[in-house]
Each structure stands twice: as C-alpha cells, then as structure tokens.
Structure 1
Amino acid sequence: MTAVAAGPEATDVPKDPAAADRPTLRELAERDSVDYILATFVDMTGRACSKLVPVSAAEELEAGGMGFSGFAAGNIGQGPQDPDLLVLPDPDSWMPLHFLQEGLAMVQCDPHVEGRPWPYAPRVILRNTLARLAARDMTAMVGAELEYFILRRTEDGGIATGDDEDTSPNPCYDARGVTRMFDHLTTVAAAMNELGWDNYANDHEDSAGQFEQNFKYADALTTADRVIAARYIISMIAHREGYVASFMPKPFTERAGSGLHMHLSLWDGGTPLFPDAEDDRGLGLSETAYGFIGGLLEHGPALQVFLAPTVNSYKRANATTTVSGATYAPQMSTYGGNDRTQSIRVPEGNRVELRTGDGAGNPYLMMASALEAGLDGIDRSLDPGDPAEPGGNSAGAKRLPMTLLHAVDALRADETILGCLSGDREIGEYYASLKETEFFTWHNRVSDWEVETYLTQI
C-alpha cells in the first residue's frame, strides 16, 4: 500500500467557548499530585501511542503540542517524508492513574499537522461527525460493553485461561468464576470508579476466561476516550498480576469471542429523540429512531470494516458453533426488540444496541461511522420495516460480510460510508487499502490447517 503523502483539507474542529474557563494541565497536575503525563492518541487501528511528558513541560504540551512522526506511530495517513503530527491535549479527558503508577496521568490528544486538525486521526474524525450532529442541534450518547479474556502464557508459547479452574463449557455469570478473579475485577472496577466512570457491573462472560466490566454511558467522545483508556488500564493491571488481557475478537476456535456492543441514542439538549410511547410497532421508538435504525441496516455491510476490523473478527462473526451453544455474533443486518440474535437490538425505547462490533474495534471510528449511517437514515427517512422474527430472520435482510475482504468490498461499494470519515472519500479509500493489505498478508501465510489438510491429500 502506498502511504498518503498529503491528505485532504482538514476540517476545523469547532472551538468550545467554555475552554477558557477550564483548568490548565499544570493546574490539574498540581491538584492531583501528578508528575508525568501520558500524552496519548490512537492510529487507525486504535493502538494507543504516547509520550511521557514531565509536568515541567505541561505548558509547552498545551500550547504547541507534542511532536510525533506519524508514519512511525502507525497507520494514520502519513509517509516518512511528511511533517510531524503535533498532538494537542484535551484537558476534558484528564485521567489520574495513581492506581497504576503514583504520579502518572493520561490525557487524550487531537493530532494536528501544520496547524490544522489532521483528518486521518480517529479522534478528529469522531469530532467532525459530532460537529455535523451539533449543527442539527443533536448530541450522541453512547454506552460501550467491554468484553475481554484474561489469559496466561504457557511454557510452549501458547495461551491458556488465566484461571486454571475456569473450564466449564457454560461459565456465563458463574459466581465462583467471578470470585476466583475477584482481585483483578475489583481492582479494575475501583479504578473506573476513581476516574468517575460509575462502574455498575462486572461479570463472567460466555467463554472460559472471558469477562465484561461495565461503566455508565456518556457523550460519544467521552465514551470513546474511556474505551481506549480502559483497554490500557485493564492490560496494565493484568500485566502486573502476571496475566495477559486480550481484546482479540476470537482467541479460541471453540469458544465465543469478545464483542464491543454500543448503545446509541440521540438527544436535543436534555430531550431524548428516540423514545415514543405511541409507537405502533411496539418498541417505543420515534420516527427519528426508526430512520436511524434504517441507516444502520442500509449501511450494515460497509460498517463492518470499522466495527469488526481484523481478519480474526470474522472467525467470531461467522462461527458456526461454540461449546456454550451460541456465538452472540449476528450474521444478518436486522433489528428487533430485546433479542440478542439481531444485529440491532432495542432493549428499551430510549436507545438502540449495535451488536456487530468486536473487541478489536477502534471506538472513534466505530462511533463515527455508525452515527453517520444513522444520520443518513434520518435524512432519507429510511423505513427499516417491521422488526425481524426471533433468530434474526427478516425478508430482504442484508448478509453481513463473511471475511475482512468482503467487508472492504462492501465499504468500497457504499459511497456514503466510504466518504464519511472527516467527510472525505480519500480517507475511506486509505482505510480500505490498509484492511485489504491486512487480509492478503494473512492470506499469503501457510497455516497449520493447510498443512494438515493438504500435505498428503493427493
């Protein structure tokens, strides 16, 4: 794939008039006894990139940003010849991390190039989508369900469940499994609460070694920042305990994989736009909500390249069975009520749950693309039809992609979603090329299965 030497014209991120009243990074650091700041941004894959900045340089970080070689940092639309990314911190994302390391804090940053927000940066992409919503007097609220595995390395270099006694084929909600991992789960939960995230549940999920830890919904940007921070925090706590925390969608063939389900709603100020008690379809939704769902369904195949962005994602999404008896990964673009076989579930009339995302998803791109799809549905008054029957059966429903390559093809065939990242088709093409290359890199490697199946077949 050819690196992008120069991107499209960046979209200016709107300035917040309240910013002048916020404390500076130094003031936040002094308040929270912080000595070092992780100035953090993510590339297209969602990988957190940081520099450790001493508080003595906080003013420089805030005034001019911290410089990174974008090409070295990862997939973010730059080549080795391009100017530095200067990442500017967002004080609203300030997170003291004393529970990991005394005197440490993290702040999420927006990459800029030559004085303008860099349109390939995922956090900038989400900001641009939220600005489009704001122009219509809409805000987006998002809740994220974070699933992951706690594993350990084996002597032969493989992986195994972190808890040796976690062997049941049906361990979901198992009280003993949660209790055996009490120290890890409560350490993470306490960290979330110390940061003000309102952790409200921690449970054993469907697979041996798999857990979910929930925190309260918030505005889309805040929730995306928290997903990035949560992955980092959970990984570091697990590392300290001698475990490996994995958000890989499907690390085990026979077990269900890890999703990243998103609960989405739109608001006008303090007024929710999705509920309607008079809904004759029985789900308690407004016409705005049905248009939003219509957009998600219409663009469902193309969205998958952002919601399920790895080769491994489609081992989860298209698994035929698991030892527990269910995959919890919908294969059709359908919607329904409180039914987990649908790609869009409506647990209550105040929100919709998009269930096709997985643990590898970049939350900024997941939210931006889903919100753009929903907004297109509202603009076009797309009617999703009647809710699907249980099991995801619906006449005319679109099949979701079978592989990452199918997802890339679906993105390229959908002009609306291809052009939704910072409003420019070129960025969608860049992302599609990244994912196409990823697929063929995997496809060109000979696997153990191929050797076992074909070596002496003829």
Structure 2
Amino acid sequence: MSLTVSPETERPPARAAATTASLAELARADEVRFILATFTTLNGKPCSKLVPVEEADALEQDGVGFAGYAAGSMGQLPRDPDVIAVPDIASYTPLPFVRPGLALVHCDPYVEGRPFAFAPRVILRSLIARAAERNLTLMAGAEVEYFLVHRRPDGTLVPADSRDDAAQPCYDARGLTRMYDHLTAVSDAMVALGWGPYASDHEDGNGQFEQNFRYADALTTADRVVTLRYIIQVLAEQRGMTATFMPKPWTDRTGNGLHLHLSLWQDGDSRFPRPADAEDPYGLGLSGLAYSFVGGLLDHAAGLHALIAPTVNSYKRTGARTTASGATWAPTQASYGGNDRTHMVRVPDAQRVELRAGDGSANSYLAIAAALAAGLDGVVRNADPGPPGVARTTTMPRTLLDAVHALDIDPVIQAVLDSVDPACGVSDYYAALKREEFYSWHNTVSDWEVDRYLTAI
C-alpha cells in the first residue's frame, strides 16, 4: 500500500554493468561456499541447485541441468532433454544473512542450446527486447505484500502474532514493533544488497506486512521479487513462522497484492511526464505516450488477469465484497484515476502508473512481461484511456476460468507467452494448466458446500 519513491527524487541505478569478474571470482570475494543456481516455473516456483564454489567456473560456462518435468510447470514430459540453467552474472546476489557462505544467481533456462520458450525469465527478456526496438526501457517497482502466520494442527491459519487482532491494524506501530526482529532482518538484507529499501509497514490485514525497495529496470525488479520472497520465507522460518504470499488466506481479511509501478524511459529519462508544451487532455500530468500505455493496460485488463492473478485463490481477493477493515484494496473494474486506490491503474504522480490488479501469487517475470506487452500495444495503437474515473465496459474475470477464457481471446497477451517461439504453444499449455487448476479446485468438496447443502433438501 506504500507509495514507491518518485523518480523525481532519485534516478534508479542502472542494471549491473557487465563485469570482467567471473562468477567464481565474485563468489570467492564474498567468501561464498555455495551458489543457488535459480529459475522459476510458469507457476512461479523457485527451482535451484546448490553448486559448490569450486564448480562456479563450470556453472558459468556450461550451466547446470534440471529435469524440467520434475521441476513442475515447464512444458516438459519425463522423456524430454534437460533444462540447462545458465547463470546471468549481473544477477549474482550474496546471501550471508540467510546462511553464511551462500549466494544466489538467477539463470536463463536453455534446452538443446536454445533459450527455453517455457521459461518466464526468458519470456520477459523477449518483451524487453521488443521495447528496445522502439528505444524504450521499462522501469518497474514492486510492492511485496505477505502474511506471517502459524498453521494449527487442524490446518487452520492464525497470525503469527497472537496479539495482532485489531479490526483496523494497518500501520499499527505496536504490530511493527512485535515483528521488529523479522522486519529489520529483511530490511538489513536489502540494504546490504544495495536495493534501497525505504519502508516496512503493517498492512491492512492481521499479520500482514509490506516491504519496499527502489525501482529499477524490469528484469532487475523481477529478479529481486523472486529473491525477496525467498529471503522473507527463509528468515520467517528461522523464527518459527510461515510467510505466505497467497492472495487471500482468510475470507474476511485483506489479501496480498503485487502492485507494479511502471514507466517507460528513453535515453535515460522517463517519457511519462507531460512535456511543458504539450496538451494534457485528462489533467493527470501524463504525456500522450503514458496515456496510451494506460489505455493498453485497460484494453487488455481481462486477459492480463490470467498472468497477474493466476490462481483460483486470486479471485477470492478481487471478488471480495468487504473485509474486517472495511475495504478490500482490490480493483473490481477496468478504470484509472489519480491518487485513488480504488482503480485498477492508479496515477500517483506524473512519473509512473501503478497497476494494482496483480496479487502475491503472480510470477514476477510473467506479470511484468504481460503489463509491458499490454502497455506497448496501447502505445503502438495510440490508445485513448478515456476520462479518469470512468470504468470500461470490460467484463472483469470473476474466476480463474474466466481469466483463462479472456486470455484465449486476447492475442496480445497470448503473444507474451508465445514470444520466444510461437511454435512451442506456451500460451495453449499455460491455459490448459490453469483450466486444470480450476477444475481440480472445483472438484474438491468444501466446508461451504457441506454447510449449505447437507440438510437443504
């Protein structure tokens, strides 16, 4: 829920420049003993192998192999050849605060020498390249929300802090103080990594927190979301808690969002603020390019949900009528406006827009790639978002199945998934994966059904 620091106050650091140091040299300089070579599946699961520093040169040169089918949603069968994870040295991240001597490097998966079409990081790279063809760079910030919980023997969840039971706990100083050790450990980690964390806060749900870092280029931010989730979960486990990014752990409480702050840059400057000599038809201080970008997000709102709200549970968040605090903070219609958190696209200032529809289950690579594709489509078509505050007639998905239907008829969002190699059919595979997820849930008898139907007839 926090505001991301405005680009007016400080320009983001550029993505780490190519270094002459090898992965082994970087690791040894940090006294690293083991490196987590990491990639994510389409469902966002982080997959790693723990590589000793003595094998860092081989890791850098040859990558490390995985059985893609065993990893999960990677478009493979048991008979298929290995997925080879090739490290991106620019993403090297020492993690001594997790375990002494540990580091992580994000990898681009390859199969038989070619970038793997089912790999989310490779997909985002392809969309970044598409923007670069227009001399545009997407800068992104992310708000990472999560709950700290305990799971009772009967399976029910309770906040890890038993005293966190206020009807409106947002920003509560006492709740922050009780979780001080965890929150400061996470913040100290981000400081050590140079991410520029600027705030940790208690969010609107009991046991819910948000920790923010400064924005950067799209790939760096997507990597950092994956790394931060890992750090948060491991540090929580060390204190006997479970950190969950599940969109809606409780029916009556606010859910977890993954809000994305987005802007397009060109030649080192943001192209979103309105030039001094340009008209501003809607009074929000945005350039024509920025309004068109917003128009693209709104035009593709329904199909976009399949990638930014990709689970059955996501639609318990967006479909919530109310919560204990009185607000859901989840947009229900395709609209945009100024500094107003009820819209799908919020414009807090002229430097950026905030896409508020994504949730904690989103794969950061796919979510950012889909947002970039939708926005670029708006730029290409010179899309008009219309007046602020006016909802589109777009029917927003009420379930994951609705979102998959919307994906099926949105060629722009389908093309995100198919961007690396259309012949591989990643979009069709992803849609089938999500349909099966929906039907698997639908085929499970719930307490709600027993309560409603047991003696109804």
- TM-score range normalised by the length of the shorter chain: over 0.9
Deviation sequence 1:366-416 (CA, Å, 0-9, x none): 00011001111111111011101xxxx53x432310000000000001112
Aligned to 2:284: 283
- Whether the 8 Å contact between 1:344 and 1:353 is mirrored in structure 2 is yes
Counterpart residue identity of residue 403, structure 1 = T
Aligned to 1:238: 236
Aligned to 1:453: 452
Counterpart residue identity of residue 346, structure 1 = V
Deviation sequence 1:64-93 (CA, Å, 0-9, x none): 110000011010111111110001001111
- Whether the 8 Å contact between 2:42 and 2:119 is mirrored in structure 1 is yes
- Which ranges of structure 1 fall in alignment gaps of 5 or more residues? 1-15
Given the alignment of the two structures, is residue 251 of structure 1 paired with residue 252 of structure 2, yes or no?
A: no
Aligned to 1:403: 399
- In structure 2, the CA distance between the partners of 1:227 and 1:30, relative to structure 1 (3 Å rule), is same
**Matched residue count:** 437
Q: What is the rounded CA distance, in whole Å, between the counterparts of 1:157 and 1:452 in structure 2?
A: 18
- In structure 2, the CA distance between the partners of 1:49 and 1:17, relative to structure 1 (3 Å rule), is closer
Q: What is the rounded CA distance, in whole Å, between the counterparts of 1:182 and 1:274 in structure 2?
A: 37
Describe the SS at the equivalent of 1:439: helix
Deviation sequence 1:239-270 (CA, Å, 0-9, x none): 00000000000001110101000000000121
Paired residues for 1:144-163 under 5 Å: 144-163=142-161
Aligned to 1:88: 86
Given the alignment of the two structures, is residue 355 of structure 1 paired with residue 356 of structure 2, yes or no?
A: yes
Describe the SS at the equivalent of 2:70: helix
Describe the SS at the equivalent of 1:188: helix
- Whether the 8 Å contact between 1:331 and 1:399 is mirrored in structure 2 is no
Paired residues for 1:5-404 under 5 Å: 19=18, 21-276=19-274, 277=276, 278=278, 279-388=280-389, 393-394=390-391, 396-404=392-400
Name the % identity. 57
Indicate the larger mover: 280-289 or 425-434: 425-434
- Whether the 8 Å contact between 2:293 and 2:375 is mirrored in structure 1 is yes
Counterpart residue identity of residue 427, structure 2 = G
- Whether the 8 Å contact between 2:83 and 2:110 is mirrored in structure 1 is yes
Describe the SS at the equivalent of 1:157: coil
Describe the SS at the equivalent of 1:206: coil
TM-score normalised by structure 2 residue count: 0.94
Cα distance, 1:280 vs structure 2:
3.4
Q: What is the rounded CA distance, in whole Å, between the counterparts of 2:151 and 2:400 in structure 1?
A: 28
Q: What is the rounded CA distance, in whole Å, between the counterparts of 2:16 and 2:318 in structure 1?
A: 43
Cα distance, 1:422 vs structure 2:
4.3
Deviation sequence 1:184-207 (CA, Å, 0-9, x none): 100100011111111100000001
Given the alignment of the two structures, is residue 421 of structure 1 paired with residue 420 of structure 2, yes or no?
A: no
- Whether the 8 Å contact between 2:418 and 2:427 is mirrored in structure 1 is no
Cα distance, 1:48 vs structure 2:
0.3
Counterpart residue identity of residue 52, structure 1 = L
- Which ranges of structure 2 fall in alignment gaps of 5 or more residues? 1-14
Counterpart residue identity of residue 410, structure 1 = A
- Whether the 8 Å contact between 1:267 and 1:273 is mirrored in structure 2 is yes
Counterpart residue identity of residue 338, structure 2 = G
Aligned to 1:412: 408
Q: What is the rounded CA distance, in whole Å, between the counterparts of 1:440 and 1:295 in structure 2?
A: 31
Q: What is the rounded CA distance, in whole Å, between the counterparts of 1:420 and 1:26 in structure 2?
A: 34
Cα distance, 1:159 vs structure 2:
1.5
Counterpart residue identity of residue 287, structure 2 = S
Counterpart residue identity of residue 433, structure 1 = A
Describe the SS at the equivalent of 1:420: helix
- Whether the 8 Å contact between 1:128 and 1:422 is mirrored in structure 2 is no
CA RMSD of aligned residues (A): 1.4
Aligned to 1:10: none
Cα distance, 1:136 vs structure 2:
1.1
Counterpart residue identity of residue 241, structure 1 = R
Deviation sequence 1:126-185 (CA, Å, 0-9, x none): 000001111111111000000000001224332110101100010000111111111110
- Whether the 8 Å contact between 1:419 and 1:427 is mirrored in structure 2 is no
TM-score normalised by structure 1 residue count: 0.94
Q: What is the rounded CA distance, in whole Å, between the counterparts of 2:281 and 2:129 in structure 1?
A: 33
Describe the SS at the equivalent of 1:221: helix
- Whether the 8 Å contact between 2:17 and 2:90 is mirrored in structure 1 is no
Q: What is the rounded CA distance, in whole Å, between the counterparts of 2:71 and 2:341 in structure 1?
A: 38
Describe the SS at the equivalent of 2:127: helix
Q: What is the rounded CA distance, in whole Å, between the counterparts of 2:324 and 2:146 in structure 1?
A: 18
- Whether the 8 Å contact between 2:261 and 2:354 is mirrored in structure 1 is yes
Cα distance, 1:359 vs structure 2:
0.4
Aligned to 2:3: none
Q: What is the rounded CA distance, in whole Å, between the counterparts of 1:125 and 1:63 in structure 2?
A: 22
Counterpart residue identity of residue 157, structure 2 = I
Q: What is the rounded CA distance, in whole Å, between the counterparts of 1:30 and 1:72 in structure 2?
A: 31
Describe the SS at the equivalent of 2:69: helix
